[in-house]
Structure 1
Amino acid sequence: MIFQKPLLPYLLMIGLTIAVSCAPIKSTTLEAIKIAVIADIHLSNVYGQLKDNDYMGLKNVENGKYAHIRTMESQLHSTRIFNENYFAFLSAMDNVVDRNIKYVILPGDFSDDGQPIHIRALKEILDHYTTTYGIKFFLITGNHDVVQPFNRRDGKTDFLGADGKAQPIMSQPGMYTSKQNKEHPVVISSDLQNLGYEEITRFLGDYGFFPKKEYLYWGTPFSEYNYENYSFHKAEQTADLTKRSHSIPPYGLPIPDISYLVEPVEGLWLLALDANTYTQKEKQGGDPSRQEYPNTGLGLNNLLKDKKYLLDWVCKVADNAKKMGKTLIAFSHYPMVEFNDGASPEMEELLVGSKMQLKRVPDKRVAQLFAQAGLKLHLGGHMHLNDTGVAVSDEGNTLFNIQTPSLAAYKPAFKILTLKEGGFAEVETIVMDSVPKYKEFFGLYHQEYTFLEHMKEGRIWNKEVLSSQNYGEFMEWHLKELVRLRFLPDEWPADFKDFLVGLSGKELLLLSMDNTSLPLHMVLKNLRDNPDKIKELSNSVKEKTRKIQAVTTHFEEWSGYDLLLDLYRLRSADRLALKDIGAQRTKQYRLIIDSILNNPSFQGKDDPIKRKMYLLASIFNKFLNGAPSDHFQLNLNSGTIISLKQPIYENE
């Protein structure tokens, strides 16, 4: 693997889980420490080689290299891309170097699905930046890194093969039968299996999972020594995974827990929480070789039930950090606080299907209990979105939850945590719009598109994706196509979606002013059948539009479809999306939203469409009015937050 440092001014870093103890930060030892957090990398080894098969991958005639990449079709139906994020990670690490940041935390989903071919690539990259630049990495696993606690057969059917066809690669024979004329014959390689805890930590053990002599302290929830009588020898003796396990029902099977506490520099404690939880299922009459241990993917919700000892350990660690004057930073893969700006109830009522992954919203008890444990700042991954959540416990303790975006989704960015004197913490979000080599596979995608056109597969992805001028634009196209191909068909009630996407912005504005008891579809029909009525209503709202420096014709430049797309922009990127939406469009949205929310005719439940419109306005309003999430400062002693970002428009 060749590492080439690009000349880029941007840095990237994605979401982990960080929590800071209630002890005031001591500037005497930690005043200048910056920590880069890169979560949800989902790294695929696009130029890797299979260790046990001669299949080299797909040749890219533009550079002569053979690549193992997934189809654009699969990328645009997934909540993450699989290929270009490889280059984004290398570019992010070069930005870390440029900023002279020496601590990097990867809080899970650092790999595609914990396959050997991808884990080897990650190790090579981490080794390079460690030996060349002296960067210290600290990792914890996510649901995509240890899919199940033990090795498990797996594979992917959607690698891109010659002539634009899909190329299935499976870890064992008999797992999949190729579709004639649409896919190439199956390639078999054990490099596509999912690795379990033992193998993942064997590959990546140098990055926090095991003690090192250079660490001032290293321990686990199962350690019997304490800070006062610590020695490297004692840590080594208890670091083996056989001594770091817990049992899961119904059979009491011991499952590793790779949580750890490390002090890499005097005064700084990093607490890595393995929040993965698993269930046990028997297959084929109890055959041990056919056992399944699926990851629940629910993170901290299940932790309270299946790993309560971790919460007890966090309480103990936070208490010790306070007594010893240590700055405690905890990280895990999952969020601790609701990340929808309080809109989860409305989303539950309005949406269908996966409901914007509402099942991943942590229970309120999670925030309450971790706040009581002494944690004040938590940065979470898993969700591929940017958000700041604030929770206050019954005792008055404030917990900030900072969700960081993924390099593999809109909007690609990272967080930098800077610890400051007096208990202040500055959080920066650095957007990665520019990534070298992000177009490296575009020629191969053209072949795929031509094949899909020939096969007449129905709705296929928009070829304009390949006209992206930078990585940021490419990731915006990823969201656009994800909304069109997956989210709108799967997450919205069909009647409401069809009604809304067919509206112009002007019609939405006029409908929002309706104060009759008529069903909204009848109001719309009356408007469309009566141009004079449209003119009359347009004149009546002139004063309101004038206040936002707009006229009603400006509302004709967009549709209900655009509003839904921008809702997903906000849901994914929060304040980072405002630049893409635009100040004037945002003001127009606010005018319509305020009109609906303050209109009594929308507050009943007799008309299903009006009710859904009210819920949509409420969700949009909450997304627009969340806590600062771009560049801000936290006072960890008082529990207050202030924005350090220049507003994009007045009253933002």
Structure 2
Amino acid sequence: MKIAVIADPHFHDIDYRQGVGRGDRVAVRTLVDTSASTRVFNESFHATKALLDDIVRRGISLVIVAGDLTDDGQQSTMAAATALLADYSRRFGLRFVATAGNHDLYASHGRHQSKRFLNADGSHTLVTSDPAMAYGDSVERIVSDEMYCGGYGSAIPAMGAYGFFRSEDDRHWECPFGTDDRLEARTFEIASADGRTVRRMVDASFLVEPVDGLWLLSIDANVFEPKDGDLDERLEKSYHDSTDAGWNAMPRNKGFVLDWMKDVAARAKALGKRLVAFSHYPAIDPLNGTSADEAKLLNDTSFLRRTPLPEASKAVAATGIKVHLSGHLHINDTALFRDGDDWLVNIAVPSMVGFPPAYKVLEIGDRRLEVETVVVADVPGHDAAFAHYRVEVAREGTSAAVTEATSHADFLSRHLAEMVRHRYLPKEWPRDLAALVPHVNLGDLERLAETASPLSVTDALPLLASSARMAGDDWRALPFFEMIVDWYRLRKGREVALDFIDPLRIAAYRHLAARFAVGAWPEGCLQDRLASFMRMMMDWLASAPSRDFAVDLATGEVTSRDHLGRTVRRQTGSA
């Protein structure tokens, strides 16, 4: 029994501009916005189709969608995305089972969306559902209701064919509230932190048996907690966004879902059902135990904000659910959590609009779950927006490096470098470290590792400027920026990232990490912070490969083969 698992397609229809129509002006998002985003936009149009084509070629008919099917839940985008999946169901017999992501809906009433689309001359037009939204530096503004992101009442019916409602072909269907699939029968009360503001919200979790013996548990881990105060329930600002909440907010706000999960797991075991659970959010720390070092090195990163706390992982493991699939972070990762006799494996599924472009294939046996990571590197039409980008960069005087990409995977790898330059370094890294990066190469890092006296960034710059610099092909001449980009590639892709990093670089990074590991400096100095950086990189390199592996469903043991063919076992604990 094989299942394909995809996450975060973020489908965007580049042929249709909201408020204008199809065939008039294309809906290509700006490269400036793309470079600063954690995902690409326009490339999703062809990438989603290439992903589904690959699934069809493999003869797989059951597909799990772990949230964020759409770009940002816009009404026209939701219609285009669901039409695409319906086409593949009609032509190839694919059956989709999904959960809603934080980009697919917002609370009960939805929220406004505003996007900038390129014009033929490289300028851009603002298309928005919000009449109060200012033009900014756009040359034109179009107000369209089609840009509005719906709430539960509109988004769940739009995705209803993906298991959210009972189908006559299903062997079994239920939700935490029973067997009534009407949304009005699937609501609960959620209160603000001070307990004074109470809202009624839909929970869209469900259990479906699409084929004999297989239970798919779709968990709605979106939590829209009201803010304190008597705020208008129709406004976005009245709720804490689910984006950073995830499983950390579930025990406090949706304990009834956890109780239901425990009941489902017990019944699945008693009835001999193969149970696979999934939600949009990871249930175990995806940083593989490096959270402390990341908190020490960087500012408040999105990864840290979205990291499940041990208490949340413990609550999920206590339900008896053994395997949980997640999306949201656009990473390739496998983590194991143990608490006494309870254990849980979280399989984080990558996205086709973030590095690395991949999905998972599960082969479910009685005692073992085999997992394959499938990289979809080549996407026909991957360069569909490149001509528009080149006009934009010519007008703006920015870089066109991403348009030199030779494949979809190469484009995403280049996009990650731009994201490091435009998003991660300026927004997440401490200002002094970010300022140091352009002035340092690997040879400079080696000299810092050999300097026993603790330094600040201010102390280090003149010292390094007076040192002889390596040039040419020597690894010491590699800019520190390139190492940081590779650091992010490993952070997001784990073993898959090794396909995109020169092995000579990996050898150089191991050498530097070893030099920093033997040093001892006061906490907070430059060398100590760089040592944290090196430790994290080595932790990701040393962690069990997460490309292809197996989970023993009786013991929780995770085993895989490394690049040398050796068996690697995941260690006990969140790793």
Instruction: Indicate the larger mover: 331-340 or 361-370.
Output: 361-370
Residue matched to 1:465: 402
- Residue 647 to residue 558, structure 1, CA distance change in 2 (3 Å): farther
Q: Secondary structure at the match of 1:379?
A: strand
Distance 1:633 1:609 in 2: 41
1:477 match: 414
Q: Partners of 2:199 and 2:454 in 1: how far apart?
A: 61
* Whole-angstrom CA distance in 1 between matches of 2:8 and 2:239: 22
Percent sequence identity over aligned pairs: 31
- Structure 1 residue 408 and structure 2 residue 353: aligned? yes
Change (3 A) 1:552 1:616: farther
1:633 to 525, 550, 558: 550
Q: What's the secondary structure of 2:369's corresponding residue?
A: strand
Partner of 1:166: 124
Q: How many residues align?
A: 563
Contact preservation (8 Å) 1:583, 1:648: no
Instruction: Tell me the residue number matched to 2:156.
Output: 201
SS in 1 for 2:121: helix
1:26 alignment counterpart: none
**Is the deviation greater in 311-320 or in 514-523?**
514-523
Q: Which runs of 5+ in 1 are unaligned?
A: 1-32, 60-65, 224-234, 454-459, 536-550
Partner of 2:261: 314
1:629 positional shift: 1.0
Query: Mean Cα displacement is larger for which, 79-88 or 635-644?
Result: 635-644
Match for 2:323 among 368, 372, 377? 377
Alignment partner, residue 10 of structure 2: 42
Between 293-302 and 260-269, report the one with greater CA deviation: 293-302
Letter of the structure 1 residue corresponding to residue 372 of structure 2: E
> 2:203·2:220 contact (CA, 8 Å) conserved in 1?
yes
TM-score normalised by the chain length of structure 1: 0.81
Deviations 1:391-418 (A, max 9, x none): 11123x3321111111111111111111
- Give the equivalent residue in structure 2 for 1:588: 508
Q: How does 1:13-412 map to 2 (within 5 A)?
A: 33-48=1-16, 50=18, 53=19, 55-56=20-21, 66-152=25-111, 154-173=112-131, 175-179=132-136, 182-223=137-178, 235=179, 238-249=180-191, 250-281=196-227, 290=235, 292-297=238-243, 298-352=245-299, 354-395=300-341, 397-412=342-357
Structure ranking higher on relative contact order (CA contacts 8 Å, 6+ apart)? 1
Letter in 1 for 2:21: M
Structure 2 residue identity aligned to 1:160: L
| Inter-partner Cα distance in structure 2 for 1:256 and 1:104 | 24
Aligned residue for 2:156, secondary structure, equals: helix
User: Is 1:511 the counterpart of 2:453 in the alignment?
Assistant: no
The answer to whether residue 525 in structure 2 is matched with residue 608 in structure 1 is: yes
What corresponds to 1:499 in structure 2? 436
Shift of 1:40: 0.6
- CA, structure 1 residues 322+177, in 2 after alignment: closer, same or farther (shift >3 Å)? same
The TM-score with structure 2 as length reference comes to 0.92
> What is the aligned partner in structure 2 of residue 573 from structure 1?
493
Distance 1:614 1:584 in 2: 20
Larger Rg: 1
Change in CA separation of 1:512 and 1:161 when aligned onto 2, cut-off 3 Å: same
User: Structure 2: where are the runs of 5+ without partners?
Assistant: 570-575
Tell me, in whole angstroms, the C-alpha distance in 2 between the residues paired with 1:87 and 1:447.
Answer: 21
Alpha carbons 1:368, 1:394 under 8 Å: kept:
no
Decide whether aligned partners of structure 1 residues 242 and 78 sit closer, same or farther in structure 2, where only a CA change above 3 A counts.
Answer: same
Counterpart of 2:225 in 1: which secondary structure?
coil
1:74 aligned partner, one-letter code: D
Work out whether 1:433 is the aligned partner of 2:377. yes
Residues 414-429 of structure 1 mapped to structure 2, 5 A cutoff: 414-421=359-366, 423-429=367-373
1:478 shift after superposition: 0.8
Distance 1:499 1:44 in 2: 37
Distance 1:212 1:91 in 2: 28
Measure the CA separation in 2 of the matches of 1:529 and 1:163: 47
Residue 551 of structure 2 contacts residue 558 of structure 2 at CA under 8 Å; is this kept in 1? yes
